[in-house]
Amino acid sequence: MTRIADRIIIVDDEKRMCDSLSRLLADDGYEVETFQHSPQAAEAIRSRKVDLVVTDIKMPQLDGIGLLGIVKEVDEEIPVILMTGYAALDSAVEAVARGAYDYLMKPIEFAQFQMAVRRALDKRNSALDRRHLLERLKIATMLQERRINELNALYEAGKSIGSTANLKELLRQIVVLASSVTEAQVGSIMLLDDNAETLTIEAAIGLEPSVVTRTRLPVGTSIAGHVAKTGQPLMIEDVESHEQFRRINRERYGAASLLCAPLLIKGRVIGVINMANKHNNEAFTENDLKLLTTFASQAAVAVDDANQFEKNRRRLVEFEILHEVTGELPQIESLNQFRSILTAKLGRVFPTDWGLWFDWEPNSNTLVLGGASGADNIPLTDSGGIDLEKINRESISLTNVELDSLDFDDIAEVSALLSEKLAAHDQFPDPKVAFMAVPILKYGEPAHVFCIGADSEHPYTDDDISLAKLVISQAALLFEKEKSLLNSTRLLTMGNMISEISHDLRKPLTSIKGGLQIIKQRWPQVQEADLMKMVDDEIHRMNELVRELVDFSNPKKYVTEKVDLRLLVKRASELVSPDMHKSRVEFQSHFDHADWDLIVNRNQIMEALLNLFINAIDAMPDGGTLSVRGLIERPEHKKVNYLALKIIDTGVGIKKENLSKVFDRYYTSKETGTGLGLAVVERILSAHNGTLTVTSDDGEGATFTLYFPYEH
């Protein structure tokens, strides 16, 4: 590198002296400037680069000693050579004391002068080299200290990952460390939501709490959203003057330099880390961006590890809850208790303040409220609670359009629909943020819906929903199995009891019946008495009761054969013809063109038809019409067609609240009924891989539909 020529200022009130010395030094390659007036020389020394000053001592206005003082004020290490024609010891001592490099007598010996100049400049250059070296060492030391600070910050961040269990605290520590090494006054870590659509601030410094809580940035908008979308780090020297982002971030950052780096895990963006407003309003550097990218990697690892830990914890909780529910099932005595236990168990994983249990009625496309747990915790109405009676009274009806488009496997879709429906009942004035509706399927068909909610500003996550779906569905399955096992045990016990009771009942019934026949033979006139008819009817009813109990508790082994269903319907109508005639009931039937030959158990199907015919006749005490309609039809929520027998009456109908109970064992609305008839019919249809449905409006008759698998 070519060295710049040394610059020398010569000051002497004699022009001839200035010119001769200037020519001498210029010939030696120096850059020389001369002054006859010392104040002008002083101004040049203050404003220009100077390596050496040569000045006479005796000058008007400002002498050489005064000029020496000015030089030392500008730079202590600039050498000064004083010249004088009036040498005196006092002046020489003062010159040396004030820092003069040399003291020359006039007339000047040029050889001596040249040597003095070279020595002075050598000293000056040595001083400059030393100064430059010290500055380089100082900068190197500063950079080294900064690098050490960076490494320490990275070490602390890495150590925090292994020692801090709380994710929010860990992210806060990373923001603090990153801001300290990048000298940023504002910093934040933002994470994407489960749908990777919105960024929220999880840890920050230098931001107002209100900004932290309300900030929701869609991916693709603003600086952070842009980085989250592209996955590439970004450095902006001045946000305010930036073409793309100045209006978006002006309110938050003002005119400031800004850094943003993505949090990447296996190439997938899970969030971003931001740094803004560098100390002293300086701009961030590429090294700052590189360092922040390293911190972003640390934060991404922390978030991923925390998420994995949370997933493992949740999985463990799943097993714990299922294990606990399995152990508690034998002690659960009611469905309401089961719901309460589920709500409490799920509350250990995510906020769960209350639950609503709905039973699905496929015949009427309605959800009927079965009960609630934690209903007092629902601050929905002015009175502070939920009006369960209103929901139960009005139920929740789904239109055919809603039902056709609804996927019961999609919890988000079901939750959105039910939230809207509940709001329509004035129970949810504002849709709850934390709300989910979990359908419970039975044999692939919807059976119940369990709604869960909490007074929380954060919605349930996908992991929350997955956990709830698993726990609720598995627990419901276990509960159903436990109930079935309990019912089987009860039925087995009941069957044994019925066998003994029926054996004991048949003897007195036979004796009573025989006694009545003897009385009728001896006194024929009593046959027309109302009392005798009543006794005869009651004996017949008691015989039927015993037969139904025996048939239900000890089902016969199925023997199947090919049978034309139309013939079975005709035969069943003939058997109940006297009852229809007595009740003034008209019978009619119509069958669409189809193959009505099916492989069934003749006796069981006949029993099912007789049960339904007799129920229909009983429902029309003042007369009416009993119709049988045969057609090909697809049941609700089935994907194939079935052969359908619709048994339609114009009777009193079934109340809405009783529709869900008509197939329950031992349920009956008749004073003398056993409650086994329709349960037997449903069991017979299930055994034939079919299904049984009912539709009815109170006072407008009922329609029972028997669906048989259709081979075509």
Q: Tell me whether residue 406 is in a domain.
A: yes
Tell me the pTM: 0.41
Q: How confident is the model at residue 379 (pLDDT cuts 50, 70, 90)?
A: very low
Q: Are residues 182 and 288 in the same domain?
A: yes
Q: Are residues 307 and 340 in the same domain?
A: no
What are the tens digits of pLDDT across the range 289-314? 888 888 788 778 877 877 777 777 77
Higher pLDDT, 231 or 476: 231
What are the CA-CA distances from residue 330 to residues 338, 479, 484 (Å)? 11, 9, 12
**Average pLDDT, stretch 595-615?**
87
Distance, CA of 305 to CA of 171 (rounded, Å): 12
CATH number of the CATH domain containing 297: 3.30.450.40
Q: Are residues 559 and 627 in the same domain?
A: yes
Q: How confident is the model at residue 444 (pLDDT cuts 50, 70, 90)?
A: low
Residue 510 predicted with pLDDT over 80:
no
**Average pLDDT, stretch 93-101?**
81
Q: How confident is the model at residue 587 (pLDDT cuts 50, 70, 90)?
A: very high
Q: How confident is the model at residue 393 (pLDDT cuts 50, 70, 90)?
A: low
Q: How confident is the model at residue 459 (pLDDT cuts 50, 70, 90)?
A: confident
Q: Are residues 281 and 419 in the same domain?
A: no
Three-state DSSP state, 270: strand
**pLDDT at residue 553, rounded to an integer:** 53
Q: In the listed set 278, 311, 344, which residue is the last one of a domain according to the structure?
A: 311
CATH number of the CATH domain containing 566: 3.30.565.10
Q: Tell me whether residue 511 is in a domain.
A: no
**Average pLDDT, stretch 181-203?**
86
CATH number of the CATH domain containing 374: 3.30.450
What value does the mean pLDDT of the chain take? 77
Q: Are residues 177 and 52 in the same domain?
A: no
Distance, CA of 275 to CA of 298 (rounded, Å): 15
Residue 268 predicted with pLDDT over 50:
yes
Q: How confident is the model at residue 626 (pLDDT cuts 50, 70, 90)?
A: very high
**pLDDT at residue 278, rounded to an integer:** 85
Measuring CA to CA, which residue among 669, 643, 574 is closest to residue 613? 574
Q: Are residues 303 and 346 in the same domain?
A: no
Residue 31 predicted with pLDDT over 70:
yes
Q: Tell me whether residue 116 is in a domain.
A: yes
Report percent pLDDT > 70 for the chain.
Answer: 76
Q: Are residues 347 and 305 in the same domain?
A: no
Residue 524 predicted with pLDDT over 60:
yes
Q: How confident is the model at residue 591 (pLDDT cuts 50, 70, 90)?
A: very high
Distance, CA of 489 to CA of 486 (rounded, Å): 5
Q: How confident is the model at residue 645 (pLDDT cuts 50, 70, 90)?
A: very high
Q: Are residues 289 and 365 in the same domain?
A: no
Q: Are residues 570 and 694 in the same domain?
A: yes
**pLDDT at residue 676, rounded to an integer:** 45
Three-state DSSP state, 454: strand
Q: Tell me whether residue 372 is in a domain.
A: yes
Q: In the listed set 311, 345, 374, which residue is the last one of a domain according to the structure?
A: 311
CATH number of the CATH domain containing 124: 3.40.50.2300
Q: In the listed set 83, 111, 133, which residue is the last one of a domain according to the structure?
A: 133
Residue 155 predicted with pLDDT over 70:
no
Tokens matching residue 559: 């023997």
Phi-psi region of 186 (alpha: psi -120 to 50; beta: other; left: phi over 0): beta
Q: Could you write out the DSSP letters of every residue in 598-649? A: EEE-HHHHHHHHHHHHHHHHHT-TT-EEEEEEEEEEPPTT-SS-EEEEEEEE
Q: Are residues 104 and 202 in the same domain?
A: no
Q: Tell me whether residue 522 is in a domain.
A: no
Q: Tell me whether residue 467 is in a domain.
A: no
Q: Are residues 280 and 345 in the same domain?
A: no
**pLDDT at residue 152, rounded to an integer:** 64
Q: Tell me whether residue 576 is in a domain.
A: yes
Residue 498 predicted with pLDDT over 70:
no
Distance, CA of 314 to CA of 546 (rounded, Å): 54
**pLDDT at residue 590, rounded to an integer:** 93
Q: Could you write out the DSSP letters of every residue in 176-203? A: HHHHHHHTEEEEEEEEE-TTS-EEEEEE
Higher pLDDT, 139 or 691: 691
Q: Tell me whether residue 610 is in a domain.
A: yes
Q: Which residue has the tokens 């709001």?
A: 423
Q: Are residues 97 and 220 in the same domain?
A: no
Q: Which domain holds residue 284?
A: 164-311
Distance, CA of 244 to CA of 247 (rounded, Å): 8
Distance, CA of 295 to CA of 175 (rounded, Å): 9
Amino acid occupying residue 586: E
**pLDDT at residue 557, rounded to an integer:** 45
**Average pLDDT, stretch 36-50?**
89
Number of structural domains in the chain: 4
